[in-house]
Chain A
Amino acid sequence: MGSLTMNASSQTAAGSRVVMTETIKANNPAGTTHAAGDQRSAGTTMAIEDVTLRYGDANGVLALDDVSLKVAKNEFCVIVGPSGCGKSSLLYLAAGLNDATSGSIKVDGREVIEPGPDRGMVFQSYTLFPWLTVRANIEYGPKRKGLPAEQRRQIVDQYLNEVGLAPFADHYPAQLSGGMKQRVAIARALANDPAVLLMDEPFGALDSQTRGTMQKLLLRVWERQQKTVLFVTHDIDEALVLGDRVLVMTARPGKIKAEIKVDIPRPRSMDVILEPDFIALKRRILGLLHDEIDEDH
């Protein structure tokens, strides 16, 4: 379980903000947790250490302030935080799409210096290649890797079935609904077999019913595929339904304020949001986030 490095020792002089580090356990019989629970904390896949991000020069806006976290192998880790707290920026840094001002990010022990196929990403905006069919979109990564055609076909078929879009294999993205596009985006990222899957509010642009369906689908896929996931959202329900662990971020400059262990047994259904354990955790996170918003005003 000790897969967390907190920033309690943050050296910023501000001092007024109490950085809490807490682990809240819901009252669940330990035996009913995910079968891979222990195995998942066995190794660290992604380690973010003392990452600071400042836009522009030394007087620029401080977006991330000394953030450290670790994501264990096959863990589903969720970051929640108020809008503008830098949680998406953190994900872009992890993907190698932007450079941190200081600090380091490692995936499987290797320093992240540029984007690469070992860190798949699903974006909030629709990023399917509009000139490629659904099949060709999913095939893009395996093709770049130089896998032979037969193997690519098997991978594509597997993930088309996984996200339930086999009948739409030859459609173009413009012919798909928003939810379907994000399903293809997930399939496309997974087909590349990344060490870690980064998800930046992937369901943020969807209506609430589609979002529920997508969460269910993602859980099913994740439980079967066993992937390391770092997921960013501002939706607390989403964070608790999906995550093994929820990290709560402060308002800008973003820091990690608390870690909440979600010991709700898997496989989880969408009805879990009505259970007392779930509500207790949600109340806890809401309280943490409200402090943030109040501090701001």
Chain B
Amino acid sequence: MAQRRTAWTRLTTPFANIPASTATTLALAMWIAVIGGWALLSYGRVVPNMFLPTPGTVLQTAYRMSLDGSLFYHTFTSAKVVILGFIVSSVVAVPLGLWMGTYRAVQAPLEPLVNFIRYLPVTSFVPLFILWIGIGIEQRIAVIFFGTFFQQLVMISDCARSVSRDLVNASYTLGTKRSEAVWHVIFPAALPAILDTLRVTMGWAWTYLVVAELVAASSGLGYISLKAMRGFQVDVIFMAIAAIGLLGLITDTAFRILRARVAPWAA
């Protein structure tokens, strides 16, 4: 077939596909622009290095802290908090969200309460958690849990509720009992959407990390950022931010792979 569309037409057509190489080039160009802009501002002394470190300094700091093991130690502590908080939250939110989306009798009492709590700022509960739970890792896990659980609950309940009624009806006409429908039909039907929800809320869990480590932490990426702020070590703050972003990227990719493995039927 003749190539009648010019490259420019393809790039500017809504929803049109672009070649994979073009997409990669554009993604790389974006990173080069961001890091290049950063280099320009810092090396060119447009912004004093006291506020904006050079990419080189940040890499050096990362290298130094990798050598003495502190980068790994703090990253591991943070990842443990986020992942534990996320797992505890998901383990409760998935079944409860499924019931909430499936049974009006579960939804009716829970939804108003959950929607109330959902809008409360997590930070406002930090003092309370310290009083109740103390200053151990449990307190930080509680912050991550509080930040993700109620959002997960509402979103997973929506996943369950959007399962086609006729899919459930069809299963009844094939001998599925009412009590079996949640786990035999609604759960597998909603699974791809649930995994997407978990992927998105995992990202949110990472964003609560610094809040969790704001007070009463003695290790973690959020903790070293706060400590660095007091010592004006902007390079450490930058490194910690980059490390969190990178970890987020890794968990996001892990969830994409998991979804492709667990739900290969869903495009």
Contacts and interface: CB of A to CB of B under 8 A. Distances in A.
Interface of A: 92, 95-97, 114-117, 119-121, 123, 125, 127, 129-132, 140-141, 144-145, 172-174, 185, 188-189, 192, 194, 198
B265 A141 contact: no
Interface residues of B, dominant DSSP: helix
A200 B188 CA distance: 25
B263 A115 contact: no
B266 interface: yes
Nearest to A123: B166
B195 to A, nearest CB: 12
B176 A144 contact: yes
B17 to A, nearest CB: 20
Interface in B145-190: 164, 166-167, 169-176, 178, 185, 188-189
Contacts of B167: 127, 129
A45 B185 CA distance: 29
A230 to B, nearest CB: 13
Given A97-B169, A132-B265, 9 more contacts: A96-B172, A97-B172, A116-B175, A117-B173, A120-B173, A125-B164, A131-B265, A140-B171, A145-B175
A119 B173 contact: yes
Interface-centre pick from B175, B189, B266, B267 (highest chain A CB count, 10 A): B175
11 contacts: A95-B172, A115-B172, A116-B173, A117-B174, A120-B174, A121-B169, A121-B173, A123-B170, A140-B171, A144-B176, A198-B173
Given A173-B265, A174-B266, A192 B169 contact: no
Contacts of B58: none
Nearest to B262: A131
Contacts of B189: 129-131
Contacts of A172: 264-265
A141 B175 contact: yes
Interface of B: 164, 166-167, 169-176, 178, 185, 188-189, 191, 263-267
Nearest to A98: B169
Contacts of B191: 131
A191 B28 CA distance: 54
B19 to A, nearest CB: 25
A194 B164 CA distance: 23
B190 to A, nearest CB: 10
A115 B172 CA distance: 6
Contacts of B263: 131
B65 to A, nearest CB: 45
A129 B188 contact: yes
A95 B265 contact: no
A174 B267 contact: yes
Contact of B170 (A114, A121, A144, A194): A121
A194 B172 CA distance: 13
A132 B265 CA distance: 8
A120 B171 CA distance: 10
A130 B167 CA distance: 10
Contacts of A141: 174-175
Q: Which 4 A-B pairs have the closest CB atoms?
A: A115-B172, A117-B175, A144-B175, A127-B170
Contacts of A116: 172-173, 175
A176 to B, nearest CB: 11
B262 to A, nearest CB: 10
A125 B263 CA distance: 22
A96 B176 CA distance: 13
A140 B174 contact: yes
A92 B169 CA distance: 9
Contacts of A174: 265-267
A135 to B, nearest CB: 13
B265 A123 contact: no
Nearest to A97: B169
A127 B169 contact: yes
Nearest to B266: A130
Contacts of A97: 169, 172-173
Nearest to B177: A144
A179 B243 CA distance: 51
Nearest to A173: B265
A174 B166 CA distance: 17
